[in-house]
């Protein structure tokens, strides 16, 4: 993914230096024609756009963006966001599983992500998810990227997925159970669960009950 900081000249050098300090890694200047700086698994191009390599974890990226924000570097929230995943490891069956998996939870995913479309675009080496057409906070970007990553992992590991979508009496509870199946378990996923459940009606704690405000905080 790319994050536009829109800094040039001395301010770009300052951004590179701050990233270097955060990562404890010396920057490497590439010179012409890119004029980019490479710091570990991250690159800052001549327009001040930060890009992350596929080897960086979502946790590393989130931590870096949060620390940059604390030091006065905020990236420009895109009006449209496309999350991409490597196509490596995806057989035709896994791609079909992914499409059926999204279809089976289409209504819930659209509400959870506040989107009206869920296309999956295939390139030679990437899977693209152009699902977002609004400005997103860094925590939202991280939550949605981890969610899509978990969908991809499940699609690869499942033998077969049914595309039939069911009716839901309690949307929040149903989606919470789905998130747990995807691996969003434990306190380390508390923020992601909260973001992904925030737009769905119902109780996350009880299938047929109404949760109180204290339960909502813990979801």
The tokens for 165 are: 């979508």
The domain tally of the chain equals 2
Q: Residue 80: pLDDT above 80?
A: no
Calpha distance 56→44 (Å, rounded): 15
Examine the domain organization and report whether 29 and 65 are in the same domain. yes
Q: What is the pLDDT of residues 96-130, one digit of tens each?
A: 999 999 999 999 999 999 999 999 999 988 999 99
Question: Mean pLDDT over all residues of the chain?
Answer: 89
Which pLDDT belongs to residue 79? 63
The number of angstroms, rounded, from the C-alpha of 22 to the middle of its chain's C-alpha atoms is 22
Examine the domain organization and report whether 42 and 102 are in the same domain. no
Examine the domain organization and report whether 48 and 96 are in the same domain. no
Which pLDDT belongs to residue 214? 42
Examine the domain organization and report whether 185 and 157 are in the same domain. yes
Examine the domain organization and report whether 166 and 192 are in the same domain. yes
Examine the domain organization and report whether 129 and 187 are in the same domain. yes
Examine the domain organization and report whether 48 and 119 are in the same domain. no
Which pLDDT belongs to residue 213? 47
Examine the domain organization and report whether 114 and 37 are in the same domain. no
Q: What is the pLDDT of residues 155-185, one digit of tens each?
A: 999 988 888 888 888 999 999 999 999 999 9
Examine the domain organization and report whether 159 and 201 are in the same domain. yes
Examine the domain organization and report whether 19 and 125 are in the same domain. no
> DSSP for 43-73?
EE-TT-EEEE-TTS-HHHHHHHHHHHHHTT-
First to last CA, the chain: 28
Domain boundary among 70, 92, 117: 70
Based on the number of CB atoms within 10 Å of its own CB, is 217 exposed (0-12), middle (13-18) or buried (19 or more)?
exposed
Low-confidence winner among 18-22, 78-82, 206-210, 213-217 (lowest mean pLDDT):
213-217
- Residue 22: give its domain's CATH number: 3.30.310
Domain holding 206, by residue range, is 79-219
Calpha distance 216→9 (Å, rounded): 46
């Amino acid at each position: 993914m790319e994050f536009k900081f829109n800094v040039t000249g001395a301010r770009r050098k300052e951004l590179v230096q701050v990233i270097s300090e955060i990562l404890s890694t010396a920057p490497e200047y590439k010179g012409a024609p890119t004029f980019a700086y490479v710091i570990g698994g991250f690159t800052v191009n001549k327009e001040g756009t930060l890009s992350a390599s596929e080897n960086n974890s979502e946790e590393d990226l989130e931590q870096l963006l949060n620390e940059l924000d604390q030091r006065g570097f905020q990236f420009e929230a895109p009006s449209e966001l496309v999350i991409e995943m490597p196509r490596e490891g995806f057989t035709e069956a896994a791609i079909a599983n992914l499409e059926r998996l999204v279809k089976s939870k289409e209504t819930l995913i659209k509400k959870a992500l506040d989107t009206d479309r869920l296309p999956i675009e295939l390139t030679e080496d990437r899977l693209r998810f152009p699902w977002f057409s609004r400005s997103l906070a860094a925590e939202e970007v991280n939550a949605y990227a981890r969610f899509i990553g978990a969908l991809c992992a499940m699609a690869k590991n499942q033998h077969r997925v049914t595309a039939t979508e069911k009716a839901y009496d309690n949307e929040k509870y149903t989606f919470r159970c789905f998130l747990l199946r995807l691996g969003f378990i434990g306190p380390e996923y508390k923020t992601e669960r909260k973001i992904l459940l925030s737009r769905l009606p119902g109780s996350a704690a009880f299938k047929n009950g109404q949760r109180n405000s204290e339960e909502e905080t813990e979801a």
